[in-house]
Amino acid sequence: MDEKNGQKSGFDNQQWFNRAWPDDDTRIPDWIYTDQDVYERELEKIFLGRHWNYVGMECEVPEPGNYIRSYVGPFPVVVTRDMEGILHVFENRCAHRGVEFCREYRGTANSFICPYHNWTYDLEGNLSAVPFRRGLGGRGGLPPDFDMAKFGLRRFSVATRGGVIFATACADMESIEQYLGPEIRKEFDATFDGTEFKLLGVHRNILPSNWKLYQENLKDPYHATLLHTYLTTFGLFVSSNESKIPTDESGRHGGLLSRRPDGRPDVSKEEQANMQAFKETMKLNDPRVLTYFPETDSKWSGSVLTIFPTLTALRQTNILNTRLLVPRGPNEFMMLWTVFGRADDDDEMTRHRLRQNNIFGPAGFLGIEDNEALRFLQEGLGKAIPREGLALLGKDDEPDDTIITERAIRGMYRYYRDVMEF
Amino acid sequence: MLTDIGDESKALREHRLNIEEFNYAYAETLDAMDVDEWVEYFTEDAFYHVIARDNAESGLPLGLIYCEGKAMMKDRAYALLNTEMFAPRYLHLSISNTRALEIRGGEILASANYTLVETRVEEASRIQQVGKYRDIFVYEGRRLLLKERICTYDSVMVDNCLVFPV
């Protein structure tokens, strides 16, 4: 301590190698976002563990023979619809030498041929042909006892609900309905209500951030009106909107539900004082972007669901999208946004959804800010002298319409800690 | 009135020169992040669309940016300058291979390649987007304006986010 300047250092070095999870669950350690061995444990315990991983929407593979590239956790897979209309999810990795054989974003095929040695697979992932299987001139080739049936592509179990496709490596997995739990299932069904969807397109972006931070972001109603001044400036969302933050029993899934009042929301003086950038008088030159045509029975005009581990599902006014988080190591993930409308939308409704989608996506008014904030956050966690993050706001036994809270973040990490055995 | 191919290609060459001048000024405006001025390169009813190449080639209409009319562009400009949080950066938009393709009534169909290089604090410069403009230009009085600019980008995997238009 410097006597003249008289400040005691605020650093203690005890946390540097300390991997013990803090006893206080309002504290989240830095190392879960940055460490390679933690990431590797997630591969086993989470993505290949007892979880349903979102892999795509049925409207991305509407016809027999359709396929898309996708991922279970970080693992490349192909999602196909076979000639009988059945969905399959298998590894995008040839059983022979391991080539990632499916190279197109999407397409239609009746088989997949690995380009390296032409091993061929059907739409279910079965190995259907191997060139020179018997060798040439009676010499070479595969061993005589080679069993084609044993060398198909490794498959995941598949479940669908409301047009959303999930896959799991877990052999005795519970149903997707049980997995979601009653509270979250109800809100899931309000968005994926059994109508047929129509794909509008896919956004793809790389975020230099740990995948869990994105789930946190959408479990965090505290940031919504503070980071996203677009919402408050144009009256799409303010903290005094009627809201609900449900979670499932385990804490792993959550929702941010809100109801936009008709007309411009009433923003209290208390709220204005807390929001730096509040502008009372702004009106859009083209207000069509915010028009809401009610299209569900739900009272909530906004619903963001975080389905553990890597799905977020958004219904915000007339924007419908799912986001798949694809981890690429502890410090980066890829995000695939599947944006859709309903099959019976007319051209004007389709255009309305396309206009409204300016708000989200990697160039959206909210997307830009979330992506930038999470990039800054990962840099803070990765470069700085370690300490614990805080998730202090609200209470765990508060009413679920409390909005200035981090209850859902704490809930997810209680579950995470349990599964990861930390 | 154009009477033969020779006249048309001469007219196209002239338009191409004007469009090149236009594109250079357009790039300079965006390099300066002057999005209020950017709006003024368009007609009142213009359509501006930034769309990933894989979506475009699959017939999927979703855009990264989708503006029907100048009013929507003004709203984006206002939001960028007044509500959006993003890291400081330098922008460098290069427009090349400008071509005037066809004169159709009062409209000139054109195309160009573009590259947006972004440089953030303490980072190397990196390509944020490469793509192709497919344009429809019109003259309003003596002023050349965009009636439509469709930006189809090859760099489908967006690096974090696209803040400014291209």
* ipTM of the complex, rounded to two decimals: 0.95
**8 Å CB contact of B75 and A286:** yes
- Give percent above pLDDT 90 in chain B: 95
Both tokens assigned to B144: 């050349």
Q: How many CB pairs under 8 A join A and B?
A: 125
The whole-angstrom separation of Cα A125 and Cα A214 is: 32
User: Which burial class, exposed, middle or buried, applies to A306 when counting CB atoms under 10 A from its CB (0-12, 13-18, 19+)?
Assistant: buried
Residues of A with CB under 8 A from a CB of B: 105-106, 199-208, 227, 229-230, 233, 277, 279, 282, 284-286, 289, 334, 339, 350-351, 354-355, 357-358, 361-363, 365, 367-369, 371-373, 375-376
Element (H, E) at B5: helix B5-31
**8 Å CB contact of A285 and B79:** no
Which tens digit of pLDDT belongs to each residue from B81-138?
A: 999 999 999 999 999 999 999 999 999 999 999 999 999 999 999 999 999 999 999 9
Q: Where are chain A's structural domains?
A: 53-159, 186-420
Tell me whether B161 touches chain A (CB under 8 Å).
Answer: yes
Tell me whether B68 touches chain A (CB under 8 Å).
Answer: yes
Please choose, from the candidates A302, A359, A321, the residue with its C-alpha nearest in 3D space to the C-alpha of residue A164. A321
In chain A, what residues touch B60 (CB-CB under 8 Å)?
199-202
Of B76, B79, B160, the CB nearest to A205: B160
The whole-angstrom separation of Cα A358 and Cα B72 is: 10
**8 Å CB contact of A207 and B160:** yes
The whole-angstrom separation of Cα B148 and Cα B49 is: 8
State the nearest Cα–Cα gap between B100 and chain A, in angstroms. Answer: 29
- Which CATH architecture group holds A53-159? 3-layer Sandwich (2.102)
Closest chain A CA to residue B120: A372
Q: A377 near A96, Cβ under 8 Å?
A: no
> How high is the pLDDT of residue B8?
79
Of B72, B160, B162, the CB nearest to A289: B72
Q: Which residues, at least 6 apart from A144, have a Cβ–Cβ distance to it below 8 Å? A: none
Q: A335 near A323, Cβ under 8 Å?
A: yes
In chain B, what residues touch A289 (CB-CB under 8 Å)?
72, 75
Question: What average pLDDT score do residues B26-45 get?
Answer: 98
State the nearest Cα–Cα gap between A285 and chain B, in angstroms. Answer: 5
Testing the interface with A: which of B83, B120, B151 to mutate, by most A Cβ within 10 A? B83
Closest chain A CA to residue B79: A230
Of A199, A358, A372, the CB nearest to B65: A358
Residue recorded with tokens 């690429």: A328
Cα–Cα distances in angstroms (integers) from residue B21 to residues A7, A34, B25, B104, in the given order? 60, 48, 6, 21
Q: How many residues are given for chain B? A: 166
State the nearest Cα–Cα gap between B132 and chain A, in angstroms. Answer: 18
Three-state DSSP class for residue A289: helix
Q: Which of residues 27 through 56 in chain B touch A, CB cutoff 8 A?
A: 50-52, 54-55
More confident site: A118 or B7? A118
Of B55, B66, B69, the CB nearest to A358: B66
The whole-angstrom separation of Cα B63 and Cα B49 is: 6
B92 secondary structure, DSSP code: E
Domain A186-420 has CATH 3.90.380.10: yes
Of B72, B84, B85, the CB nearest to A286: B72
Of B61, B86, B157, the CB nearest to A201: B61
Q: Which domains does chain B have, with CATH numbers?
A: 5-153 (3.10.450.50)
The whole-angstrom separation of Cα A97 and Cα A86 is: 28
Q: Which of residues 90 through 149 in chain B touch A, CB cutoff 8 A?
A: none
Of B71, B84, B159, the CB nearest to A368: B84
Q: A370 near A78, Cβ under 8 Å?
A: no
Residue ranges of E strands in chain B: 42-52, 65-68, 89-104, 107-120, 126-140, 143-153, 157-159
Residue recorded with tokens 């309000």: A190
In chain A, what residues touch B58 (CB-CB under 8 Å)?
105-106, 201
Sign of torsion, CA A223 A229 A230 A232? positive
Looking at every residue in chain B, the average pLDDT score rounds to 95
State the nearest Cα–Cα gap between A56 and chain B, in angstroms. Answer: 16
Testing the interface with B: which of A368, A376, A378 to mutate, by most B Cβ within 10 A? A368
Ranges of residues in chain A whose predicted pLDDT is under 50: 1
In chain A, what residues touch B157 (CB-CB under 8 Å)?
204-206, 334
Testing the interface with B: which of A203, A328, A359, A375 to mutate, by most B Cβ within 10 A? A203
Closest chain B CA to residue A198: B60
In chain A, what residues touch B126 (CB-CB under 8 Å)?
none
The whole-angstrom separation of Cα A214 and Cα A328 is: 14
Closest chain B CA to residue A209: B160
**8 Å CB contact of A206 and B72:** no
State the nearest Cα–Cα gap between A89 and chain B, in angstroms. Answer: 22
